[in-house]
Structure 1
Amino acid sequence: MRITLVQGDITEQDVDAVVNAANSSLMGGGGVDGAIHRRGGPAILDECRRLRASKYGKGLPTGQAVATTAGNLPARWVIHTVGPVYSAGEDRSALLASCYRESLKVADSLGAATVAFPAISAGLYGWPIDDAARVAVTTVKAADTSVAEVRFVLFTEDALAAFQRAVGE
């Protein structure tokens, strides 16, 4: 598997699947989640509502992943995963790693060859970017997946630099 890093907007990535750093409601929100729902259009929200009405009545649990259409995005699918909120007093890194592993499992089940990830939990959920990058890169490198390319799409220069350091280690 090839790991690539780009600074940019995840909603503009021409890949098979874009990973959404969703909240458990699956109904959209701020940050990456809001951007994906806005650009992807109502088809994503419609599928999320169906998921909530069936399998995920209480919401998508932290660390799990589920796919929907990508709507108007250039991708084919959106893989929604709920990252943990950072806590200085509790190690939640296993939940963060699970987001990447479970998203790749969903990607494999879809036959996705290219997947774009944001820095899950590193925005609104407060995860320190260097540690978020370390967990992301370590987990993806160790994953048993058929995905050919994992593209980390980072919104800021600081995030890009943190992921560059993590890939280099």
Structure 2
Amino acid sequence: MPFNLLKRYPDLLEIGHMSPFERTQSLRGVYQRDIENNDRFYFLGKRIYPIKSEGQVDMDRQFIHLTCEEINEEDENGHVVPRRVFDKYRSERLHWIKTHTDEATNENGIVIFSLVERDRRKRMDVVRTYIYNKKQKYVIVFEPQKRNGASYYLLTAYYLNKEYGVKQIENKLKKRLNVVL
């Protein structure tokens, strides 16, 4: 498990051979090092915080957003219910977040942009800031904090492995603002 702490971008974390418990322990170690216990977790000079749940910082919820994808399932009453399931592609790239927020990659094709988009859950328009690595097909999503503008919430990060993924992010890129917020 500790060998994943030695992995560096663009290598992938090795989690395929682990039991679910071992995998979670290994990923938690990377998450705690890079995000939860990182006093220098900044992007563009702005402090990055995990999303809040009921007004409180919720590291477990953040960890789940970074290692699981949301799927919709039908319950016994025929209602569509969202739930999160382990996502191998997100998880094996968990350590890429810090590399990108530290701007420590020299690759071409990394685009940083902000746009106004509709948040279906909040039922309102919000500003989101994206790091989009075209070469690696990787995206990190932030929401600038409204109260001070000097920090971000880390919403999620994911690999564009779905058929529609690249097209969807390219459409967002076309709607970007002239300034990164």
Tell me the TM-score normalized by structure 1: 0.29
Structure with the bigger percentage of strand: 2
Q: Which has the higher contact order (CA 8 A, sep 6+)?
A: 1
Tell me the TM-score normalized by structure 2: 0.27
Structure with the bigger percentage of helix: 1
Q: Which is greater in Rg?
A: 2
